Amino acid sequence: MTDGKPSKQFTWQHLAGLVITAGLLWFVFRKIPFSSFWGTLKGTRPFWFVIAFSTYGLALWFGACRWHMALHLTHRALHLLASYRLFLVGHFLYCVLFGAVGGDFAKSAVYARWFRFELPEVVAAAPLDRVLGFGGTILYGVTAFLITYYNGGFSVLRQWQHRLPSGWIFVAGGLIAALILSVIFWRPKGESSLARAVRAFRSGSSRMVVTPSFIIPGTIFGILGQVGLTSVMALNLQAVTHHHLPWGQMVWTFPAIMLASAMPFTVAGAGAREMAALAFLGLYGVPAEECLAASLLTLCHKLVWALVGGLIFWRNGAFYRRTKDQPLLQSISVVLATLNDERAVAETIAMAKANPEVKEVIVADGGSGDRTRQVAAELGCAVITTPARRGAQWRAGAQQATGDVVLLLQVNTLLSPYAGLAAINCLRDSYVVGGGFWKKYEHAPRLLFGARILCALRLIFFRRVARDQAPFMRRSALEAVGGVPDVPIMEDFELCRRLRQKGHLALGDALVVTSLRQFEEQSYSRTYWRALVQRWKWRLGRSAREARETT
Protein backbone atom coordinates (compact mmCIF):
# COMPACT_ATOMS: atom_id res chain seq x y z
CA MET A 1 0.00 0.00 0.00
CA THR A 2 1.15 3.52 -0.79
CA ASP A 3 -0.27 6.82 0.34
CA GLY A 4 -3.12 5.05 2.08
CA LYS A 5 -4.23 3.42 -1.19
CA PRO A 6 -3.95 -0.22 -2.21
CA SER A 7 -1.27 -1.00 -4.69
CA LYS A 8 -2.44 -0.95 -8.30
CA GLN A 9 -0.10 -3.76 -9.23
CA PHE A 10 -2.00 -6.82 -10.50
CA THR A 11 -0.30 -9.81 -8.88
CA TRP A 12 -0.18 -13.47 -9.84
CA GLN A 13 -2.36 -14.17 -6.81
CA HIS A 14 -5.10 -11.96 -8.27
CA LEU A 15 -4.83 -13.72 -11.61
CA ALA A 16 -5.01 -17.11 -9.91
CA GLY A 17 -8.09 -15.99 -7.98
CA LEU A 18 -9.84 -14.88 -11.17
CA VAL A 19 -8.98 -18.16 -12.89
CA ILE A 20 -10.21 -20.24 -9.95
CA THR A 21 -13.42 -18.21 -9.70
CA ALA A 22 -14.12 -18.57 -13.43
CA GLY A 23 -13.37 -22.29 -13.29
CA LEU A 24 -15.68 -22.93 -10.34
CA LEU A 25 -18.52 -20.93 -11.89
CA TRP A 26 -18.13 -22.74 -15.20
CA PHE A 27 -18.18 -26.10 -13.42
CA VAL A 28 -21.33 -25.13 -11.49
CA PHE A 29 -23.33 -23.70 -14.38
CA ARG A 30 -22.44 -26.19 -17.10
CA LYS A 31 -24.94 -28.77 -15.83
CA ILE A 32 -27.87 -26.43 -15.15
CA PRO A 33 -30.13 -25.19 -17.96
CA PHE A 34 -29.86 -21.44 -18.19
CA SER A 35 -33.59 -21.04 -18.86
CA SER A 36 -34.42 -22.82 -15.59
CA PHE A 37 -31.95 -20.69 -13.63
CA TRP A 38 -33.12 -17.45 -15.27
CA GLY A 39 -36.76 -18.27 -14.61
CA THR A 40 -35.99 -18.80 -10.90
CA LEU A 41 -34.03 -15.54 -10.74
CA LYS A 42 -36.85 -13.58 -12.41
CA GLY A 43 -39.29 -14.92 -9.83
CA THR A 44 -37.37 -13.27 -6.96
CA ARG A 45 -39.73 -11.70 -4.43
CA PRO A 46 -38.63 -8.07 -3.87
CA PHE A 47 -39.65 -7.97 -0.20
CA TRP A 48 -37.24 -10.71 0.87
CA PHE A 49 -34.53 -9.36 -1.45
CA VAL A 50 -34.69 -5.93 0.25
CA ILE A 51 -34.75 -7.50 3.72
CA ALA A 52 -31.64 -9.50 2.82
CA PHE A 53 -29.84 -6.39 1.56
CA SER A 54 -30.70 -4.46 4.74
CA THR A 55 -29.60 -7.40 6.88
CA TYR A 56 -26.21 -7.42 5.18
CA GLY A 57 -25.73 -3.75 6.03
CA LEU A 58 -26.81 -4.37 9.62
CA ALA A 59 -24.33 -7.25 9.90
CA LEU A 60 -21.57 -4.93 8.71
CA TRP A 61 -22.62 -2.42 11.39
CA PHE A 62 -22.29 -5.07 14.12
CA GLY A 63 -18.88 -5.99 12.72
CA ALA A 64 -17.86 -2.32 12.84
CA CYS A 65 -18.96 -2.10 16.49
CA ARG A 66 -16.79 -5.11 17.30
CA TRP A 67 -13.78 -3.64 15.49
CA HIS A 68 -14.38 -0.33 17.27
CA MET A 69 -14.09 -2.15 20.60
CA ALA A 70 -10.82 -3.72 19.44
CA LEU A 71 -9.51 -0.27 18.50
CA HIS A 72 -10.60 0.94 21.93
CA LEU A 73 -8.42 -1.74 23.52
CA THR A 74 -5.38 -0.32 21.72
CA HIS A 75 -6.45 3.32 22.41
CA ARG A 76 -6.86 4.02 18.69
CA ALA A 77 -10.65 4.42 18.45
CA LEU A 78 -12.09 7.70 17.11
CA HIS A 79 -15.85 7.39 17.07
CA LEU A 80 -18.35 4.80 15.89
CA LEU A 81 -19.16 6.44 12.56
CA ALA A 82 -15.47 6.56 11.63
CA SER A 83 -15.13 2.87 12.50
CA TYR A 84 -18.18 2.03 10.36
CA ARG A 85 -16.86 4.01 7.39
CA LEU A 86 -13.52 2.24 7.59
CA PHE A 87 -15.20 -1.13 8.10
CA LEU A 88 -17.07 -0.60 4.83
CA VAL A 89 -13.75 0.35 3.21
CA GLY A 90 -12.32 -2.87 4.67
CA HIS A 91 -15.21 -4.82 3.13
CA PHE A 92 -14.32 -3.32 -0.24
CA LEU A 93 -10.64 -4.16 0.20
CA TYR A 94 -11.55 -7.67 1.36
CA CYS A 95 -13.33 -8.24 -1.94
CA VAL A 96 -10.53 -6.67 -3.97
CA LEU A 97 -7.69 -8.46 -2.18
CA PHE A 98 -9.40 -11.88 -2.00
CA GLY A 99 -9.39 -12.56 1.74
CA ALA A 100 -9.83 -11.38 5.30
CA VAL A 101 -6.10 -11.23 6.09
CA GLY A 102 -5.25 -8.89 3.22
CA GLY A 103 -8.43 -6.91 3.81
CA ASP A 104 -7.68 -6.49 7.53
CA PHE A 105 -4.14 -5.26 6.89
CA ALA A 106 -5.22 -2.91 4.10
CA LYS A 107 -8.05 -1.54 6.23
CA SER A 108 -5.65 -0.95 9.12
CA ALA A 109 -3.19 0.78 6.78
CA VAL A 110 -5.90 3.11 5.46
CA TYR A 111 -7.11 3.85 9.01
CA ALA A 112 -3.56 4.65 10.14
CA ARG A 113 -2.92 6.80 7.08
CA TRP A 114 -6.15 8.80 7.21
CA PHE A 115 -6.07 9.47 10.95
CA ARG A 116 -2.27 9.65 11.31
CA PHE A 117 -1.66 6.80 13.73
CA GLU A 118 1.35 4.50 13.82
CA LEU A 119 0.48 1.38 11.82
CA PRO A 120 1.57 -1.38 14.29
CA GLU A 121 -0.86 -0.31 17.02
CA VAL A 122 -3.72 -0.19 14.52
CA VAL A 123 -2.82 -3.54 12.98
CA ALA A 124 -2.86 -5.06 16.47
CA ALA A 125 -6.60 -4.34 16.67
CA ALA A 126 -7.32 -6.70 13.75
CA PRO A 127 -6.48 -9.97 15.58
CA LEU A 128 -8.19 -8.60 18.71
CA ASP A 129 -11.27 -8.06 16.56
CA ARG A 130 -11.02 -11.64 15.33
CA VAL A 131 -10.63 -12.90 18.90
CA LEU A 132 -13.77 -11.00 19.94
CA GLY A 133 -15.63 -12.40 16.94
CA PHE A 134 -14.35 -15.94 17.43
CA GLY A 135 -16.34 -16.40 20.64
CA GLY A 136 -19.50 -15.22 18.90
CA THR A 137 -18.85 -17.52 15.94
CA ILE A 138 -18.37 -20.55 18.19
CA LEU A 139 -21.55 -19.84 20.17
CA TYR A 140 -23.55 -19.26 17.02
CA GLY A 141 -22.16 -22.39 15.35
CA VAL A 142 -22.94 -24.54 18.39
CA THR A 143 -26.48 -23.14 18.51
CA ALA A 144 -27.02 -23.85 14.80
CA PHE A 145 -25.77 -27.42 15.17
CA LEU A 146 -27.96 -28.03 18.23
CA ILE A 147 -31.03 -26.78 16.34
CA THR A 148 -30.16 -29.06 13.43
CA TYR A 149 -29.57 -32.03 15.72
CA TYR A 150 -32.84 -31.47 17.59
CA ASN A 151 -34.73 -31.43 14.26
CA GLY A 152 -32.96 -34.54 12.95
CA GLY A 153 -31.14 -32.65 10.23
CA PHE A 154 -27.92 -34.65 10.38
CA SER A 155 -29.53 -37.89 9.29
CA VAL A 156 -29.07 -36.87 5.64
CA LEU A 157 -25.30 -36.72 6.08
CA ARG A 158 -25.19 -40.49 5.82
CA GLN A 159 -25.65 -39.93 2.11
CA TRP A 160 -22.41 -37.97 2.02
CA GLN A 161 -19.41 -40.17 1.55
CA HIS A 162 -16.73 -37.48 1.43
CA ARG A 163 -14.58 -37.46 4.53
CA LEU A 164 -11.51 -35.46 5.39
CA PRO A 165 -8.51 -37.72 6.17
CA SER A 166 -7.81 -37.69 9.90
CA GLY A 167 -4.13 -36.93 9.31
CA TRP A 168 -4.95 -33.52 7.89
CA ILE A 169 -7.02 -32.74 10.97
CA PHE A 170 -4.01 -33.35 13.23
CA VAL A 171 -1.73 -31.27 10.99
CA ALA A 172 -4.16 -28.33 10.96
CA GLY A 173 -4.69 -28.58 14.71
CA GLY A 174 -0.93 -28.62 15.32
CA LEU A 175 -0.35 -25.54 13.19
CA ILE A 176 -3.11 -23.62 14.98
CA ALA A 177 -1.75 -24.65 18.39
CA ALA A 178 1.78 -23.59 17.39
CA LEU A 179 0.50 -20.20 16.24
CA ILE A 180 -1.36 -19.64 19.52
CA LEU A 181 1.65 -20.66 21.63
CA SER A 182 3.98 -18.40 19.64
CA VAL A 183 1.73 -15.40 20.24
CA ILE A 184 1.48 -16.19 23.96
CA PHE A 185 5.17 -16.84 24.70
CA TRP A 186 7.10 -14.89 22.03
CA ARG A 187 8.23 -11.53 23.41
CA PRO A 188 9.97 -9.56 20.65
CA LYS A 189 12.39 -6.80 21.57
CA GLY A 190 13.18 -3.54 19.85
CA GLU A 191 10.96 -1.04 18.08
CA SER A 192 10.31 -2.83 14.80
CA SER A 193 6.76 -2.73 13.41
CA LEU A 194 6.26 -6.42 14.16
CA ALA A 195 7.52 -6.09 17.74
CA ARG A 196 5.25 -3.09 18.42
CA ALA A 197 2.25 -4.84 16.88
CA VAL A 198 2.79 -7.94 19.02
CA ARG A 199 3.17 -5.84 22.19
CA ALA A 200 0.03 -3.85 21.38
CA PHE A 201 -1.87 -7.09 20.70
CA ARG A 202 -0.70 -8.64 23.99
CA SER A 203 -1.53 -5.49 25.95
CA GLY A 204 -5.00 -5.27 24.41
CA SER A 205 -5.61 -8.97 25.01
CA SER A 206 -4.68 -8.58 28.68
CA ARG A 207 -7.13 -5.71 29.06
CA MET A 208 -9.80 -7.71 27.28
CA VAL A 209 -9.36 -10.78 29.52
CA VAL A 210 -9.71 -8.81 32.77
CA THR A 211 -12.54 -6.58 31.51
CA PRO A 212 -15.90 -8.35 31.08
CA SER A 213 -17.36 -5.10 29.74
CA PHE A 214 -15.33 -5.75 26.57
CA ILE A 215 -15.68 -9.53 26.29
CA ILE A 216 -19.46 -9.72 26.70
CA PRO A 217 -20.45 -6.94 24.23
CA GLY A 218 -17.75 -8.08 21.79
CA THR A 219 -19.10 -11.62 21.85
CA ILE A 220 -22.65 -10.34 21.41
CA PHE A 221 -21.59 -8.24 18.42
CA GLY A 222 -19.81 -11.31 17.06
CA ILE A 223 -22.96 -13.41 17.35
CA LEU A 224 -25.17 -10.72 15.80
CA GLY A 225 -22.72 -10.20 12.95
CA GLN A 226 -22.55 -13.91 12.16
CA VAL A 227 -26.33 -14.29 12.40
CA GLY A 228 -26.73 -11.34 10.06
CA LEU A 229 -24.28 -12.57 7.43
CA THR A 230 -25.62 -16.13 7.39
CA SER A 231 -29.22 -14.89 7.37
CA VAL A 232 -28.57 -13.11 4.07
CA MET A 233 -28.21 -16.42 2.25
CA ALA A 234 -31.32 -17.82 3.97
CA LEU A 235 -33.36 -14.71 3.16
CA ASN A 236 -32.30 -14.82 -0.48
CA LEU A 237 -33.24 -18.49 -0.63
CA GLN A 238 -36.65 -17.53 0.78
CA ALA A 239 -36.86 -14.87 -1.94
CA VAL A 240 -36.43 -17.36 -4.81
CA THR A 241 -37.86 -20.64 -3.53
CA HIS A 242 -41.38 -21.85 -4.23
CA HIS A 243 -41.03 -25.02 -2.19
CA HIS A 244 -41.58 -25.91 1.44
CA LEU A 245 -38.08 -26.25 2.90
CA PRO A 246 -37.02 -27.95 6.17
CA TRP A 247 -35.47 -24.81 7.67
CA GLY A 248 -34.96 -26.33 11.12
CA GLN A 249 -33.00 -29.25 9.66
CA MET A 250 -30.72 -27.23 7.43
CA VAL A 251 -29.83 -24.37 9.79
CA TRP A 252 -26.21 -25.59 9.95
CA THR A 253 -25.75 -25.27 6.19
CA PHE A 254 -25.81 -21.47 6.12
CA PRO A 255 -22.78 -20.87 8.39
CA ALA A 256 -21.02 -23.67 6.49
CA ILE A 257 -21.71 -21.92 3.17
CA MET A 258 -20.51 -18.61 4.60
CA LEU A 259 -17.31 -20.25 5.83
CA ALA A 260 -16.68 -21.78 2.40
CA SER A 261 -17.21 -18.41 0.69
CA ALA A 262 -14.64 -16.80 3.00
CA MET A 263 -11.76 -18.84 1.55
CA PRO A 264 -9.16 -16.40 0.13
CA PHE A 265 -8.85 -17.84 -3.36
CA THR A 266 -11.94 -16.53 -5.19
CA VAL A 267 -13.38 -13.11 -5.99
CA ALA A 268 -15.79 -12.18 -3.15
CA GLY A 269 -16.41 -15.89 -2.53
CA ALA A 270 -17.95 -16.43 -5.99
CA GLY A 271 -17.72 -20.02 -7.12
CA ALA A 272 -16.94 -21.40 -3.67
CA ARG A 273 -20.30 -20.13 -2.36
CA GLU A 274 -22.20 -21.76 -5.24
CA MET A 275 -20.34 -25.05 -4.84
CA ALA A 276 -21.05 -25.13 -1.11
CA ALA A 277 -24.72 -24.21 -1.64
CA LEU A 278 -25.19 -27.06 -4.13
CA ALA A 279 -23.41 -29.53 -1.87
CA PHE A 280 -25.09 -28.62 1.44
CA LEU A 281 -28.55 -27.42 0.46
CA GLY A 282 -28.87 -30.18 -2.12
CA LEU A 283 -28.88 -32.69 0.73
CA TYR A 284 -32.27 -31.34 1.76
CA GLY A 285 -33.84 -31.36 -1.68
CA VAL A 286 -33.33 -27.71 -2.59
CA PRO A 287 -33.33 -27.49 -6.41
CA ALA A 288 -30.00 -26.58 -7.96
CA GLU A 289 -31.38 -23.49 -9.74
CA GLU A 290 -32.67 -22.12 -6.42
CA CYS A 291 -29.30 -22.76 -4.74
CA LEU A 292 -27.51 -20.84 -7.45
CA ALA A 293 -30.05 -18.00 -7.58
CA ALA A 294 -29.81 -17.47 -3.81
CA SER A 295 -25.99 -17.60 -3.99
CA LEU A 296 -25.80 -15.02 -6.78
CA LEU A 297 -28.23 -12.70 -5.00
CA THR A 298 -25.99 -12.94 -1.92
CA LEU A 299 -22.99 -12.13 -4.12
CA CYS A 300 -24.94 -9.14 -5.48
CA HIS A 301 -25.54 -7.81 -1.95
CA LYS A 302 -21.90 -8.32 -1.06
CA LEU A 303 -20.65 -6.47 -4.13
CA VAL A 304 -23.11 -3.57 -3.73
CA TRP A 305 -21.97 -3.01 -0.14
CA ALA A 306 -18.38 -3.32 -1.37
CA LEU A 307 -19.19 -0.62 -3.92
CA VAL A 308 -20.42 1.60 -1.08
CA GLY A 309 -17.11 0.99 0.69
CA GLY A 310 -15.23 1.77 -2.52
CA LEU A 311 -17.06 5.09 -2.90
CA ILE A 312 -16.23 6.00 0.71
CA PHE A 313 -12.61 5.04 0.05
CA TRP A 314 -12.46 7.27 -3.02
CA ARG A 315 -14.35 10.25 -1.58
CA ASN A 316 -12.92 10.31 1.93
CA GLY A 317 -9.43 9.45 0.75
CA ALA A 318 -9.32 12.59 -1.37
CA PHE A 319 -10.54 14.70 1.56
CA TYR A 320 -8.05 13.28 4.07
CA ARG A 321 -5.17 13.72 1.65
CA ARG A 322 -6.05 17.42 1.45
CA THR A 323 -6.04 17.75 5.26
CA LYS A 324 -3.07 15.52 6.07
CA ASP A 325 -0.72 18.48 6.63
CA GLN A 326 -2.89 20.08 9.30
CA PRO A 327 -1.17 19.95 12.71
CA LEU A 328 -2.43 17.32 15.13
CA LEU A 329 -4.32 18.57 18.17
CA GLN A 330 -2.42 17.95 21.40
CA SER A 331 -3.70 20.02 24.33
CA ILE A 332 -7.06 20.61 26.00
CA SER A 333 -8.38 23.58 27.95
CA VAL A 334 -11.15 22.61 30.36
CA VAL A 335 -13.65 25.37 31.13
CA LEU A 336 -15.58 24.60 34.31
CA ALA A 337 -18.74 26.56 35.19
CA THR A 338 -19.36 26.79 38.96
CA LEU A 339 -21.79 28.37 41.39
CA ASN A 340 -21.66 27.55 45.12
CA ASP A 341 -20.02 24.18 44.42
CA GLU A 342 -17.48 24.10 47.24
CA ARG A 343 -18.20 20.48 48.19
CA ALA A 344 -18.01 19.00 44.65
CA VAL A 345 -15.55 21.20 42.75
CA ALA A 346 -12.36 19.56 44.05
CA GLU A 347 -13.29 16.09 42.75
CA THR A 348 -14.35 17.45 39.36
CA ILE A 349 -11.05 19.33 38.96
CA ALA A 350 -9.01 16.33 40.11
CA MET A 351 -10.70 14.03 37.59
CA ALA A 352 -10.14 16.55 34.81
CA LYS A 353 -6.45 16.99 35.65
CA ALA A 354 -5.98 13.20 35.70
CA ASN A 355 -6.01 13.43 31.89
CA PRO A 356 -2.46 14.13 30.62
CA GLU A 357 -3.86 15.99 27.62
CA VAL A 358 -5.45 18.68 29.84
CA LYS A 359 -3.22 21.73 29.67
CA GLU A 360 -5.26 23.99 31.96
CA VAL A 361 -8.49 24.15 33.93
CA ILE A 362 -10.26 27.51 33.83
CA VAL A 363 -12.95 27.94 36.47
CA ALA A 364 -15.62 30.43 35.42
CA ASP A 365 -17.50 31.17 38.63
CA GLY A 366 -20.92 32.81 38.69
CA GLY A 367 -20.34 34.69 41.94
CA SER A 368 -20.31 31.92 44.55
CA GLY A 369 -20.96 32.82 48.18
CA ASP A 370 -18.91 29.89 49.49
CA ARG A 371 -15.23 28.87 49.04
CA THR A 372 -15.61 27.54 45.49
CA ARG A 373 -13.17 30.04 43.98
CA GLN A 374 -10.61 29.58 46.77
CA VAL A 375 -10.67 25.79 46.42
CA ALA A 376 -10.20 26.06 42.64
CA ALA A 377 -7.30 28.50 43.04
CA GLU A 378 -5.61 26.24 45.59
CA LEU A 379 -5.81 23.40 43.06
CA GLY A 380 -3.93 25.46 40.48
CA CYS A 381 -6.85 26.56 38.31
CA ALA A 382 -7.25 29.94 36.66
CA VAL A 383 -10.34 31.55 38.21
CA ILE A 384 -12.54 34.25 36.66
CA THR A 385 -15.86 35.71 37.83
CA THR A 386 -18.75 36.10 35.42
CA PRO A 387 -22.54 36.57 35.48
CA ALA A 388 -24.33 33.50 36.83
CA ARG A 389 -25.39 32.06 33.47
CA ARG A 390 -23.82 28.90 32.16
CA GLY A 391 -23.56 30.28 28.63
CA ALA A 392 -21.85 33.47 29.86
CA GLN A 393 -19.52 31.46 32.11
CA TRP A 394 -18.44 29.06 29.40
CA ARG A 395 -18.06 31.90 26.92
CA ALA A 396 -15.79 33.93 29.20
CA GLY A 397 -13.71 30.89 30.13
CA ALA A 398 -13.32 29.76 26.51
CA GLN A 399 -12.04 33.22 25.57
CA GLN A 400 -9.18 32.66 28.03
CA ALA A 401 -8.38 29.17 26.71
CA THR A 402 -5.05 28.47 25.01
CA GLY A 403 -5.38 24.73 24.31
CA ASP A 404 -6.02 23.22 20.88
CA VAL A 405 -9.33 21.83 22.16
CA VAL A 406 -11.89 23.49 24.44
CA LEU A 407 -13.85 21.17 26.73
CA LEU A 408 -16.88 22.61 28.53
CA LEU A 409 -17.60 21.07 31.90
CA GLN A 410 -20.09 21.43 34.73
CA VAL A 411 -19.43 20.36 38.30
CA ASN A 412 -21.81 17.40 38.35
CA THR A 413 -20.02 15.73 35.39
CA LEU A 414 -16.83 13.74 36.03
CA LEU A 415 -14.34 12.93 33.28
CA SER A 416 -12.75 9.50 33.00
CA PRO A 417 -8.92 9.21 32.88
CA TYR A 418 -9.11 8.51 29.13
CA ALA A 419 -11.53 11.29 28.22
CA GLY A 420 -8.77 13.63 27.08
CA LEU A 421 -7.24 11.05 24.76
CA ALA A 422 -10.71 10.14 23.45
CA ALA A 423 -11.46 13.78 22.60
CA ILE A 424 -8.10 14.25 20.84
CA ASN A 425 -8.57 11.00 18.91
CA CYS A 426 -12.14 11.88 17.94
CA LEU A 427 -10.93 15.16 16.44
CA ARG A 428 -8.30 13.35 14.36
CA ASP A 429 -11.22 12.91 11.98
CA SER A 430 -11.02 16.09 9.94
CA TYR A 431 -14.75 15.96 9.26
CA VAL A 432 -15.44 16.38 12.99
CA VAL A 433 -15.31 19.81 14.64
CA GLY A 434 -16.68 18.86 18.05
CA GLY A 435 -18.73 16.44 20.07
CA GLY A 436 -19.26 15.01 23.51
CA PHE A 437 -18.90 11.75 25.42
CA TRP A 438 -21.09 8.79 26.24
CA LYS A 439 -22.83 9.32 29.57
CA LYS A 440 -24.08 7.35 32.52
CA TYR A 441 -25.67 8.48 35.78
CA GLU A 442 -23.98 7.88 39.11
CA HIS A 443 -25.91 5.30 41.17
CA ALA A 444 -28.69 5.45 38.60
CA PRO A 445 -32.08 3.90 39.38
CA ARG A 446 -33.66 1.62 36.80
CA LEU A 447 -35.69 4.50 35.39
CA LEU A 448 -32.47 6.17 34.20
CA PHE A 449 -30.85 3.11 32.63
CA GLY A 450 -30.20 3.53 28.94
CA ALA A 451 -28.56 6.96 29.17
CA ARG A 452 -25.95 5.85 26.63
CA ILE A 453 -28.66 4.88 24.16
CA LEU A 454 -30.19 8.33 24.57
CA CYS A 455 -26.79 9.90 23.82
CA ALA A 456 -26.68 8.03 20.50
CA LEU A 457 -30.29 8.85 19.59
CA ARG A 458 -29.76 12.53 20.45
CA LEU A 459 -26.78 12.72 18.10
CA ILE A 460 -28.38 10.71 15.29
CA PHE A 461 -31.78 12.42 15.19
CA PHE A 462 -31.07 15.87 16.62
CA ARG A 463 -27.32 16.18 15.81
CA ARG A 464 -26.41 17.56 19.21
CA VAL A 465 -24.83 16.68 22.52
CA ALA A 466 -26.11 17.76 25.93
CA ARG A 467 -24.30 19.96 28.41
CA ASP A 468 -23.74 17.05 30.83
CA GLN A 469 -21.87 15.12 28.11
CA ALA A 470 -18.87 17.47 28.49
CA PRO A 471 -19.01 19.08 25.02
CA PHE A 472 -15.63 19.58 23.36
CA MET A 473 -14.61 21.28 20.12
CA ARG A 474 -11.63 22.55 18.17
CA ARG A 475 -10.73 25.98 19.52
CA SER A 476 -10.41 27.28 15.95
CA ALA A 477 -13.96 26.09 15.17
CA LEU A 478 -15.30 27.68 18.36
CA GLU A 479 -13.70 30.99 17.47
CA ALA A 480 -15.05 30.72 13.92
CA VAL A 481 -18.66 30.49 15.19
CA GLY A 482 -18.24 33.42 17.58
CA GLY A 483 -17.61 31.51 20.80
CA VAL A 484 -20.04 29.91 23.21
CA PRO A 485 -23.48 31.56 22.83
CA ASP A 486 -24.32 33.81 25.77
CA VAL A 487 -28.01 32.90 26.01
CA PRO A 488 -30.11 32.40 29.18
CA ILE A 489 -30.85 28.73 28.46
CA MET A 490 -30.18 26.07 25.78
CA GLU A 491 -26.62 27.27 25.28
CA ASP A 492 -25.57 23.70 24.42
CA PHE A 493 -28.36 23.43 21.84
CA GLU A 494 -27.39 26.70 20.17
CA LEU A 495 -23.65 25.90 20.28
CA CYS A 496 -24.20 22.56 18.51
CA ARG A 497 -26.34 24.27 15.88
CA ARG A 498 -23.55 26.72 15.11
CA LEU A 499 -20.80 24.11 15.13
CA ARG A 500 -22.70 21.96 12.61
CA GLN A 501 -22.19 24.77 10.11
CA LYS A 502 -18.45 24.04 10.24
CA GLY A 503 -18.46 20.24 10.33
CA HIS A 504 -19.79 17.11 11.99
CA LEU A 505 -20.35 16.27 15.65
CA ALA A 506 -19.41 12.90 17.12
CA LEU A 507 -19.24 11.00 20.40
CA GLY A 508 -15.73 10.48 21.75
CA ASP A 509 -14.83 6.97 22.85
CA ALA A 510 -15.01 7.57 26.60
CA LEU A 511 -17.62 7.69 29.36
CA VAL A 512 -18.47 10.55 31.69
CA VAL A 513 -20.36 10.11 34.94
CA THR A 514 -23.11 12.58 35.81
CA SER A 515 -24.56 12.97 39.29
CA LEU A 516 -28.28 13.08 40.02
CA ARG A 517 -28.20 16.65 41.42
CA GLN A 518 -30.53 17.91 38.69
CA PHE A 519 -33.22 15.49 39.94
CA GLU A 520 -33.04 16.56 43.60
CA GLU A 521 -35.82 19.16 43.41
CA GLN A 522 -38.21 17.28 41.09
CA SER A 523 -39.00 13.71 40.08
CA TYR A 524 -37.21 12.05 37.16
CA SER A 525 -40.25 12.13 34.89
CA ARG A 526 -41.01 15.78 35.72
CA THR A 527 -37.40 16.83 35.09
CA TYR A 528 -37.31 15.09 31.71
CA TRP A 529 -40.70 16.53 30.75
CA ARG A 530 -39.61 20.06 31.68
CA ALA A 531 -36.41 19.73 29.63
CA LEU A 532 -38.34 18.34 26.64
CA VAL A 533 -40.89 21.19 26.66
CA GLN A 534 -38.11 23.77 26.99
CA ARG A 535 -36.32 22.37 23.94
CA TRP A 536 -39.43 22.38 21.77
CA LYS A 537 -40.38 25.89 22.83
CA TRP A 538 -36.87 26.99 21.90
CA ARG A 539 -37.12 25.17 18.56
CA LEU A 540 -40.43 26.90 17.82
CA GLY A 541 -38.85 30.31 18.34
CA ARG A 542 -40.26 31.18 21.75
CA SER A 543 -38.35 33.68 23.82
CA ALA A 544 -35.82 32.49 26.37
CA ARG A 545 -38.07 33.77 29.16
CA GLU A 546 -41.07 31.77 27.91
CA ALA A 547 -39.00 28.60 27.56
CA ARG A 548 -37.41 29.05 30.96
CA GLU A 549 -40.77 29.46 32.70
CA THR A 550 -41.89 25.98 31.65
CA THR A 551 -43.47 24.09 34.56
Mean pLDDT score of the chain, rounded to an integer? 82
pLDDT in tens, 76-85: 999 999 999 9
Lowest mean pLDDT among 36-45, 56-65, 296-305, 372-381: 36-45
The answer to whether the beta carbons of residues 194 and 120 sit under 8 Å apart is yes
Q: How far from chain centre, in Å, is Cα 161?
A: 44
Mean predicted confidence (pLDDT) in 284-291? 89
- Beta-carbon contacts of 455 under 8 Å, excluding residues fewer than 6 positions away, are 436, 438, 439, 465, 466, 469, 507
DSSP for 377-418, written as a single string: HHTT-EEEE--S-HHHHHHHHHHH--SSEEEEEETTEE--TT
Given a cut of 70, whether residue 407 has pLDDT beyond it is yes
| Structure confidence at residue 82 (pLDDT) | 95
In single-letter form, the type of residue at position 382 comes to A
**CA–CA separation, 449 and 455 (whole Å):** 12
How confident is residue 172, by pLDDT bands cut at 50, 70 and 90? Answer: very low
Residue 336 amino acid letter: L
Instruction: Give the SS3 label for residue 223.
Output: helix
- Sort strands 472-474 and 405-410 into parallel, antiparallel or unpaired: antiparallel
Task: List, in sequence order, the alpha helices (H) in 409-517.
Answer: 419-426, 451-462, 475-480, 491-499
Model confidence at 401, in pLDDT bands (50, 70, 90)? very high
Once rounded to an integer, what is the mean pLDDT over residues 331-337?
Answer: 97
pLDDT at 285 over 80: yes
- Inform me whether the pLDDT recorded for 234 exceeds 90: yes
Q: At residue 257, what are phi and psi to the nearest 5 degrees?
A: -65, -40
Within 74-192, residue ranges assigned H as helices are 80-97, 100-115, 119-123, 125-150, 166-185
- N-term to C-term CA, the chain: 61
* Confidence band of 226 (pLDDT split at 50, 70, 90): confident
Please say whether the beta carbons of 401 and 384 come within 8 A.
Answer: no
Q: Please tell me the CATH superfamily of domain 332-439+451-513, with its number.
A: Spore Coat Polysaccharide Biosynthesis Protein SpsA; Chain A (3.90.550.10)
Would you state the pLDDT for residue 283? 85
Q: Structural domain boundaries of the chain?
A: 45-74+118-262+269-305, 332-439+451-513
Task: For the full predicted model, state whether its pTM sits above 0.85.
Answer: no
Closest to 372 (Cα-Cα) out of 353, 349, 404, 391: 349
Given this model, what pLDDT does residue 529 score? 54
pLDDT at 497 over 60: yes
Percent of the chain with pLDDT over 90: 43
Q: Is the pLDDT of residue 241 over 80?
A: yes
Asked whether residue 523 carries a pLDDT value surpassing 50, the answer given is no
Q: Which residues contact 522 (CB under 8 A, 6 or more apart)?
A: 530
The pLDDT value given to residue 218: 81
What percent of the chain has a predicted confidence (pLDDT) above 70? 77
- Sign of the alpha-carbon torsion through 223, 225, 228, 230: negative
pLDDT at 364 over 70: yes
